[in-house]
Chains A and B, each alone.
Chain A
């Protein structure tokens, strides 16, 4: 038997970003349960920290016409109606309470004139809806949850990586979850976490792509853990390419430029100075877009009778428009377009101070990393892999996956966002469904009889984790990772077609063989090369899922755009694409029909069209 240490808890949460922290807090608050929180980084460093714009909640502090129904309809429209409507309803109804709860735990949001929480405009949201703190809302949120969470008796395992879930019955057979297997990054010692319930809150998959706003942690761990345990993954074809990432200098390519820049009036122009977003307005939004630049400005400055500027259309659309400009040779010198906030000096007297106050970290980021002063110059921006709408298929109310005892919340879970996520709906997603996952995981764990991990599963997981050391002198894992990132970027990126994706599947098969042969020298102590070896199977798993789902969806919808089927199709409007691991270890795909929304929700959607 391999040498390992055992930790026993009732609930284990994997991932300590917004969803994981909120889930752990909720599970601990239910009383009498032991809760463990396992995270790859130090506490408070998770990717949530990078969220900038804000969290969407229909509190109606700025525009009293807002309510959960409008938010629900906006979310469904943004997701092109393949969302899990149960989740969209719960999210719209519960988000305001989750935001107020953060304030009760010490978060300090920007204020309205009468002292309430201020809300800002964002793409796809009909009214100003995002509670925010300048452009560092994610930091405020994670720090608030962290500082509250450390007093709740949660056992935190910092810098620990989970490589396998432990379950009853054969591995991958979909049996009840009884724990997780992993190692501590500092020493490389194995750990077995026994638990009645496991909550996945591991975030996304951005590191499968070359140009991404995501940190190293986003290697699809939770997706792969769930898949390998026999759970369904859903909607994996829907990857969000955020329209505005930095493009220059090369070393910062992909780093996010918040949508808040456009929310504050930033305009997108091509090299000819043309505000090209006015040239292409999608049908779904025809009644909601400003007629001219003047009306757009009135909208961002709070005129309730004005419509939004086209820069504030949904991210999928804006990203494709930018892509089109660049491909047509109308881009900026380094292959992006210009995002200009400095122009507002024509409109307001103290524009530079206003920009620094509203967008401090953007000012800082461009000044220090690109040598650009955004109060006087335009930024160069282009699409960057940002978010995956797809993930673990969960029950909308409890967040339990198709594997008993396995829960998922936040980006790793599928459903809320459908084919495209609205900006600001992620932070509220983390809170609403983090809380629900924690609550239901606790309830589940309480009802379970004791179970113990099967020695054979632990042994197999340990063997697999150590395999790269047996192949010292094998291929460098970083090379395989870079090859994968190039492949996904080129062939399953923002514009897709059948031919390239078929080639991508062949490429992935070849990379799977290479990944099985990577080797690493050195020992288990804080060894990033070893960690990269272990990330590869996860990245390959999610890449294959994305590619297979994207091949099957022969239409364009939300984040998924196919140049060989550029329109939405009725044939694909009524189902989600699901993959599951077959008994033979291969990936099986099926189409799951979407249950029609409740009558009252249908009416809400119609009324808000």
Chain B
């Protein structure tokens, strides 16, 4: 099989720039294999994050030929190798070095979301009963591997840098998983409206397109949350009702 050239972001800060590396390609290789091979052959200091190499941990997020993807799940035989393959770090987060970005903001945002608060157990032995159908809906959201590709592609973060006011698709999926959890009793709607900036999302569905776990982020998580926020805070009938019966 032929050699292929990878045009990879190297360096840090102002001095970061593309550098071309050529390496030998074998059957079934993915972009992460190529990066590892380049590391071992010619660029031992080339930095990238990875762990499982099987699409389960969400560490090796990058932009391949301009598209946010997991390097471990992008097969080279799906790319045009007659031209250099560009591999860049995610753009929505501060660059650290080479392919590594500072994603710590995501961990901070998550901490601010109120945690799971279950109802009292259903059975005397302290356990709960749940129907598979109710569990299924939330399991979709819990497939999330926190690769942050949805955050990377979202224009509110990527282009408008609203990190201080907007939690991003990942955390709407997280909040949806909590809000729709069959046992949860917490209310996170005010947080969604005021602190998490749910209103900034104008449902362009880019996040859904890049999700490697195929979570229907916009339709199944964000839109239902928007509806709940509207029902809670903007529905005229509810507001009228509240005038006569102030909320608890």
On A, residues with C-beta under 8 Å from B are: 41-47, 49-50, 100, 103-106, 108-111, 114-117, 133-134, 136, 138-140, 143, 147-148, 150-151, 158, 186, 215-217, 248-252, 255-256, 361, 364-365, 368-370, 476-479, 482, 520-522, 525-530, 532
Contacts and interface: CB of A to CB of B under 8 A. Distances in A.
B126 A100 contact: yes
Given A116-B127, A252-B28, A215 B181 contact: no
B28 A116 contact: no
A75 B45 CA distance: 44
A151 B115 contact: yes
A111 B135 CA distance: 8
B138 interface: yes
B129 interface: yes
B9 interface: no
A251 B26 contact: yes
Nearest to B45: A522
A215 B100 contact: no
Contacts of B247: none
A423 to B, nearest CB: 17
Given A215-B51, A368-B75, A150 B110 contact: yes
Contact of B128 (A103, A136, A361, A370): A103
B139 interface: yes
Interface in B164-180: 178
B107 interface: yes
B223 interface: no
Contacts of B48: 528
A147 B142 CA distance: 12
Contacts of A138: 56
A482 B98 CA distance: 24
Interface string B19-52: 0000000111110010000011000111111111
Given A111-B135, A115-B131, A370 B52 contact: no
Contact of A49 (B30, B56, B102, B107): B56
B44 A186 contact: no
B128 to A, nearest CB: 7
A110 B44 contact: no
B30 A369 contact: yes
Contacts of B73: 368-369
Contacts of B116: 105-106, 147-148
A369 B50 contact: no
Interface string B58-75: 110000000000000101
B46 A217 contact: no
22 contacts: A41-B57, A45-B146, A46-B51, A47-B51, A105-B116, A106-B116, A108-B142, A111-B131, A115-B129, A117-B127, A134-B139, A143-B144, A150-B107, A250-B26, A251-B29, A252-B28, A368-B55, A368-B75, A369-B28, A369-B54, A370-B28, A528-B48
Nearest to B26: A250
A482 B135 CA distance: 44
A47 B131 CA distance: 30
A403 B128 CA distance: 42
A114 B46 contact: no
A250 B27 contact: yes
B42 to A, nearest CB: 10
A108 B181 CA distance: 8
A50 B30 contact: no
Given A106-B181, A108-B139, A370-B28, A151 B45 contact: no
Nearest to A151: B115
Interface of B: 12, 26-30, 33, 39-40, 44-59, 73, 75, 96-98, 100, 102-104, 107, 110-111, 115-116, 118, 126-132, 135, 138-139, 142-146, 178, 181-184
A91 B48 CA distance: 38
A244 B58 CA distance: 23
Nearest to B115: A151
Given A116-B127, A150-B110, A50 B28 contact: no
Q: How would you classify the secondary structure of chain B's contact residues: helix, strand, loop or mixed?
A: loop
A526 B47 contact: yes
B129 A114 contact: yes
Most chain-A CB neighbours within 10 Å: which of B58, B138, B142, B184? B142
A421 to B, nearest CB: 20
B107 A43 contact: yes
B59 A41 contact: yes
Contacts of A110: 132, 135
B139 A526 contact: no
Contact of A217 (B51, B115, B138, B178): B51
A478 B40 contact: yes
Contacts of A252: 28, 53-54
Contact of A45 (B26, B45, B59): B59
A111 B118 CA distance: 17
A529 B39 contact: yes
A365 B55 contact: yes
B178 to A, nearest CB: 8
Contacts of A255: 53-54
Given A44-B146, A114-B129, A368-B55, A526 B27 contact: no
A249 B75 CA distance: 11
Contacts of A369: 28, 30, 54-55, 73, 75
B44 A529 contact: yes
A529 B43 CA distance: 9
B40 A158 contact: no
A526 B57 contact: no
B56 A139 contact: yes
A114 B123 CA distance: 12
Given A41-B59, A42-B103, A100 B127 contact: yes
A250 B49 contact: no
B142 to A, nearest CB: 6
Contacts of A251: 26, 28-30, 33
B57 A50 contact: yes
A252 B144 CA distance: 22
A108 B52 contact: no
Given A368-B55, A476-B44, A526 B98 contact: yes
